[in-house]
Amino acid sequence: MRVLVTGGAGFVGSHTVVSLIEAGHEPVVVDNFINSDRSVLGRIGKLTGNVPELHEADIRDKDAMTDIARTGFDACMHFAALKAVGESVEKPMLYYDNNVSGTISLVEALLEADVNSFVFSSSCTVYGEPETLPLDESMPIGTATNPYGWTKIMMEQVLRDVQLANPDWSVSLLRYFNPVGAHPSGLLGEDPVGTPNNLMPYVARVAAGILPKLQVFGDDYPTADGTGIRDYIHVVDLAEGHLAALARHAGDAGVHTYNLGTGQGHSVLELVRAYEEVSSRPVAYEITGRRPGDVAASWADVTMATEHLGWMTTRDLHEMCADSWNWQQKAR
């Protein structure tokens, strides 16, 4: 299939582009490189022997997106978004514009070009504060604690409404848990600009001696060691989840919602210990107060994805840390 991949130079998008090429598809990348680097395309080429077609464009530019969409696609995978929770609190309009208006422009372009299979990067953040665990897809969408979370809730709603008005549309809403790790080659990974917002890239930089210590936000949660629990998922497993959704639902009218996680939670300190083990480096940390908006624990019920997509993760926390460390060591 010829697949339009927005944000295809980013962390999850680039790994999915590799999986698409490896599966014989033809991904076409659209990115404005606001949070990624052009060199990613060359590295994808090195890995797969195939440098994907690239359009440097902003998804908010409807005319540009329409021209691109009209070149003909079987499906669109939509990764392009801003994702820094703290920044979204400081600059809410930037997030609503980039993520929500951007999605609207993109969808309008796809409607005009008659591309009707859509795979969307959603997030477990849409569930809000969990009342019971694990989280399953039938649970109501919660209240977001920051503008980034609201953009995901809004974009899901936009897509459900578009599907309702265009019954031949296929929309897959993929709710990621916590993507981490890197490609095992060490050629692709997460390379945040400035201080990382997410735990594993931060831990990686502490292990590498780039940052002095990790701040652990709270050790008084009702969890076994008191630190927050998350469902970490290896980015290559996540990429494979997208391919499974594409294979199952391209051209299959309706809205298809899936959690993509491992179904298992790990605490912050478990992750720190696993990282110390694979890197043979100490990861210094200090316990600080809880961070507003953080939930104590979150992990997925993955029954839907297992049963309907025939997909499940195969990479454990150890492998996630080992691949992250390999990527960190091959610092670009």
Ligand X SMILES: NC(=O)c1ccc[n+]([C@@H]2O[C@H](COP(=O)([O-])OP(=O)(O)OC[C@H]3O[C@@H](n4cnc5c(N)ncnc54)[C@H](O)[C@@H]3O)[C@@H](O)[C@H]2O)c1
Q: Any idea which residues carry the catalytic annotation?
A: 148
Residue 67: count other Cβ atoms within 10 Å of its Cβ.
14
Task: Give which of 156, 193, 198 is closest to 175, Cα–Cα.
Answer: 156
47 phi and psi angles, rounded to 5 deg: -75, -35
Q: Please check whether residue 96 is in contact with residue 147, taking contact to mean a CB–CB distance below 8 angstroms.
A: yes
Q: Which amino acid is at 54?
A: L
Phi-psi region of 122 (alpha: psi -120 to 50; beta: other; left: phi over 0): beta
Residue 27: its H or E element = strand 26-31
Binding to ligand X, residues 192-221 (CB under 6 A): 198
- Answer yes or no whether residue 36 interacts with ligand X by CB under 6 A: yes
Site track 119-148 with ligand X (rule: CB under 6 A), x = hit = --x-x-------------------------
Give residue 327's Cα distance to chain centre: 18
Residues 4, 68, 77, 81: which binds ligand X (CB under 6 A)? Answer: 81
Q: Which is nearer to ligand X, 21 or 59 (CB)?
A: 59
Residues 3, 5, 9, 206: which binds ligand X (CB under 6 A)? Answer: 9
The length of the chain, given as a count of residues: 332
- Answer yes or no whether residue 31 interacts with ligand X by CB under 6 A: yes
Q: How far is the CB of 208 from ligand X (least distance, A)?
A: 20
- Answer yes or no whether residue 242 interacts with ligand X by CB under 6 A: no
- Answer yes or no whether residue 176 interacts with ligand X by CB under 6 A: yes
- The Cα 226–Cα 220 span in angstroms is 5
Number of residues that bind ligand X (CB under 6 A): 29
DSSP-assigned states of every residue in 64-126: HHHHHHTT--SEEEE------HHHHHH-HHHHIIIIIIHHHHHHHHHHHHT--EEEEEEEGGG
Binding to ligand X, residues 258-297 (CB under 6 A): none
Binding window for ligand X (CB under 6 A); candidates: 47-55, 111-119, 174-182, 289-297 = 174-182
Q: Which is nearer to ligand X, 77 or 272 (CB)?
A: 77
- Answer yes or no whether residue 7 interacts with ligand X by CB under 6 A: yes
Site track 101-120 with ligand X (rule: CB under 6 A), x = hit = -x------------------
DSSP 308: I
Q: How far is the CB of 29 from ligand X (least distance, A)?
A: 9
Q: How far is the CB of 107 from ligand X (least distance, A)?
A: 14
- Answer yes or no whether residue 60 interacts with ligand X by CB under 6 A: yes
Which residues are near ligand X by CB under 6 A?
7, 9-13, 30-36, 58-60, 79-83, 98, 102, 121, 123, 176, 178-179, 198
